[in-house]
Amino acid sequence: MTEANTRKGIAFMIAATMIFSLQDALSRHLGETNNVFVIVMIRYWVFAAFVVAFAMRSSGGLRRMLRPRYPLIQGLRGVLLVAEICIMVVAFVKLGLVATHAVFTCFPLLVAALSGPILGEYVGWRRWLAVAVGCVGVFVILQPGAGVLSVWSVLPFAAALMFALYGLLTRFVAAEDGAEVSFFWAGIAGAAAITVLGLWFWQPLSAGSAPWMALLACSGILGHWCMIRAYDFAEASEIQPFSFLQLVWVTIIGVAFLGEALTPNIVIGAFIVVAAGLFTLWRAEKKGEEPTPVTRP
């Protein structure tokens, strides 16, 4: 990779994080007056159409995509991702964008902690220390009386755990199925799962929601295109740290446009969690481990 290509990859990753942050804000807005399953279902229908179009243009076409080496794991990945997105949308409504993302940012630490029992990787004391430090950061965010700690606080934790498992399973199937196959199944399996729930709990969109729903769907396509281009231009290890900028954009949107509060405990706690997460990424790269997805679509 040339230096110019790396810069392009970083630029596309930054653009992807900005677009996904906008998506989260739109999801929160729509989730306040609509059924979450219906919102995610419509979003996933567009996502599924995108991955099918992407697959048809790739080497081997749909035939290769429909014959994964690990079909059950690929299906589980798709279900985990769509469940994580549903939980996050509920958390956006109940906790707000800033608080939800501040807690969710701990998922790279969960990846580090679970890579041993799930993938059989060795996790040294340095990364275990980073996990412990990250836990301290989460406790700082959720300190009693800060306005974040509530029964809903379990939601971003659950979403972070699901996304960590999704990332580890992606790493597990990567050697045989490849990124394109995994991307295809994340969209198709997720769309199939959420369609069952979305149709069961079907409710018409509230008045005035259709344009926002269209913007949410279109931004999803643009965000995924930017992320794909980012990995086309640069190595994953070079652009992964920039995925943490999503917390910055979410904070700006939440505070400036949604009236959310940015309390000192959230700032300090998020800084601790992000620093610990960056350290785990650095240690994984140094040990030559396969990269794990760190940007949630």
- CA pair distance 265, 138, nearest whole angstrom: 10
pLDDT tens, residue by residue, 62-71 = 888 988 999 9
What single DSSP character describes residue 34?
A: S
pLDDT score for 290: 58
pLDDT at 64: 87
pTM for this entry: 0.90
pLDDT band at 110; cut points 50, 70, 90 = confident
CA distance 134 to 138: 6
Sign of CA dihedral 68, 72, 75, 77: negative
* Average pLDDT score over residue span 245-271: 89
Structural domain tally of the chain? 1
Is residue 58 one of the residues assigned to a domain? yes
Q: Mean pLDDT lowest for which of 2-11, 119-128, 237-246?
A: 119-128
Mean of the per-residue pLDDT values for the chain?
86
| 296, part of any domain | no
In a domain, residue 149? The reply is yes
Percent of all residues in the chain with a pLDDT value above 90, rounded to a whole number: 43
The percentage of the chain sitting over the pLDDT mark of 70, rounded to a whole number, equals 91
In a domain, 172, yes or no: yes
Decide if pLDDT at 244 tops 80: yes
Number of residues written out for the chain:
297
Domain that holds residue 235: 3-286
Higher pLDDT, 117 or 32: 32
Structure tokens at 259: 């009236």
CA dist 182 to 69, 168, 169, 174, 186, Å? 10, 12, 10, 8, 6
Residues 105, 274: Cα–Cα separation, whole Å: 7
Q: How far is CA 272 from the centre of its chain?
A: 20
Residue 207 lies in a domain: yes
Q: Which residue has the higher pLDDT, 252 or 262?
A: 252
Alpha-carbon distance of 199 to 248, in angstroms, equals 35
* Angular region, 204: left φ>0, alpha ψ -120 to 50, beta rest: beta
Q: pLDDT of 14-42, one tens digit each?
A: 999 999 999 999 999 999 999 999 999 99
Mean pLDDT lowest for which of 79-83, 212-216, 241-245? 241-245
295 is written with which tokens? 């940007």
Any domain includes 132: yes
Q: How many other C-beta atoms lie within 10 A of the C-beta of residue 61?
A: 11
Instruction: Give DSSP secondary structure letters for 134-175.
Output: HHHHHHHHT-TTSS--SGGGHHHHHHHHHHHHHHHHHHHHHH
Retrieve residue 205's tokens.
């969109």
175 sits in the region (left: phi over 0; alpha: psi -120 to 50; else beta) called alpha
Other Cβ atoms less than 10 A from the Cβ of 204: the count is 10
> Residue 146: is its pLDDT beyond 70?
no
Q: What is the pLDDT of residues 167-221, one digit of tens each?
A: 889 888 888 888 889 889 999 999 999 999 999 999 999 999 999 999 999 998 8
* Confidence band of 151 (pLDDT split at 50, 70, 90): confident
Within-domain flag for 291 = no
Structure confidence at residue 153 as a pLDDT band (50, 70, 90): confident
| pLDDT given at position 10 | 87
E strand or H helix at 251: helix 245-257
**Mean pLDDT, residues 68-85 taken together:** 94
Query: Range with the lowest mean pLDDT among 1-15, 85-99, 265-279?
Result: 1-15
| C-alpha separations of 72 from 68, 79, 114 in Å | 9, 11, 20
Where helices occur in 120-153 by DSSP H, the ranges are 125-141
pLDDT category of residue 119 using cuts at 50, 70 and 90: confident
Q: What is the pLDDT of residue 276?
A: 86
* Residues 6 or more apart whose Cβ sits within 8 Å of residue 263: 146, 147, 148
Smallest CA-to-CA distance from 127 within 292, 297, 264 is with 292
